[in-house]
Amino acid sequence: MFKALLAPLLFASAGALALPQCPEPQRMELDYPAPSFAVTGFDHSANRFISLLPSYHMVHDLVLAEGQGATLTAKFDYGTLVHKDLEDEKVRFYLRGPQQGSWQFLGQGTTNSDGKASIALPALAAGQYRIYAGVPGDGSGAQGFVTVIQPGTQAVLFDIDGTLTESDAEQLGDYTGIDRADPKDGAYSLVRRYLDLGYQPVFLTARVYWYAKGSRSWLDWMGLPQGFLRTSLSNEDSLFNPRAYKAAQIRALQAQGLNIVRAYGNAKSDAEAFIDAGIPPSSTFTIGSDAGYNGTTPIAGNSYGQHIAEAVDSFPAAACQ
C-alpha cells in the first residue's frame, strides 16, 4: 500500500555529510480538495444531532525525522459554545505525498471518549506530506501536514497571538469566523522573508485545539503556509502551562533533527520557553510590552519593518540543498 509513498533512504557515510533537503513550504500552500469517500451515516444516532453544529475538527501536525514512523492523531468535535467530542465513530485517514497526484488511503481509526482517532504512519522519505482525516458519518473532515526532514534542517519559529497578530484577544475573531485578526505591522514580510531564505516555518501557539481551524484560515488569508501549525490539545496547557507546553514542543521538534535557528514571541511565557529549550537569547526575539524579557532580543516600535531591514535581510540563507 505504501510503496508509492516511500523512497530509498541512503545512510552511507558520504550521505551523512550532505546538506539536508530544503523545506517545501510552497507545497503547504497548495489547495487540495478533500478525498472522496462514502458518507455512511453515524454508528450512534446521538452523533447525528451534534453534527448539526459547526465542526472544529483538526489534525495534529507532525515534524518527523526521515525514515521514522509515528502515530498521527486527529481530534473531532462539534459546537462553537460548548464543544462536544465525537465519540466511538469511524475515521478514514488519507496521505498525499510530494510527488503524488491523488490521495492514498492509509487506514481507518475510531474516535475515543475524547474525540481523538489515531493512525500509524509508515517511515517516509524527506518531503512535505498532506493528511486528511474524514468522518464517514457526515462527510466532514480536516486536513493537516506531516513534514519529514533530514537531520539539521533549519527552521524559524513564530508564536501567533500578539506576535504575528496585534493582540491575544483577536483570536476570538478567527475562531468564530466573524472577523480576521489584524496582523502586526510587517508580520507577513517577516515570515515570507525567512521562507524565501529557505527556512522551515514553525507556527507554535498556546491556542487550544479548537482554534486550529481558524488559525489555518488566518494563515491562508495572510498568504502564508498553514503548516507546521501546533496548537495545544489541552485547555490546562493553554491556560495555565504555556511555558512548559511550548518548551516541551520545541524540544520534541529538536529531537526529530529540526534546528530552530530563530524564534519569535511576545509573551513572558514565550521568552521563558525559548530559553528553557536552549535557543540562545541572541536568536530569540520578542515584541510588544514584554520585548526583551528574560534576556531575549527586543524588537522596538511594535513593528517588524526596521527589524527586517537590520536583522533579516542580511541573515544568511538556510544551509540546505
CB atoms within 10 A of CB 144: 24
pTM of the model: 0.90
Using pLDDT thresholds of 50, 70 and 90, give the confidence band for residue 13. very low
Q: What is the largest CA-CA distance in the chain?
A: 60
Q: What is the pLDDT of residues 203-258, one digit of tens each?
A: 999 998 888 999 999 999 999 999 899 998 777 777 779 999 999 999 999 999 99
| pLDDT computed for residue 171 by the predictor | 56
Q: What is the pLDDT of residues 36-46, one digit of tens each?
A: 999 999 999 99
Q: What is the pLDDT of residues 134-183, one digit of tens each?
A: 999 999 999 999 999 999 999 999 999 999 999 766 555 555 566 789 99
Query: So what's the architecture of 21-149 in CATH?
Result: Sandwich (2.60)
Where is mean pLDDT largest: 21-30, 103-112, 224-233? 103-112
pLDDT surpasses 90 at 110: yes
Q: What is the pLDDT of residues 114-142, one digit of tens each?
A: 999 999 999 999 999 999 999 999 999 99
Phi, psi torsion values for 20, nearest 5 degrees? -65, 160
Q: Which of 126, 133, 134 is nearest to 63 (CA)?
A: 126
List Cβ neighbours of 231 (8 Å cut-off, separation of 6 or more): 58, 205, 207, 208, 209, 211, 212, 215
**What CATH superfamily classification does 153-312 receive?**
HAD superfamily/HAD-like (3.40.50.1000)
Domain ranges of the chain: 21-149, 153-312
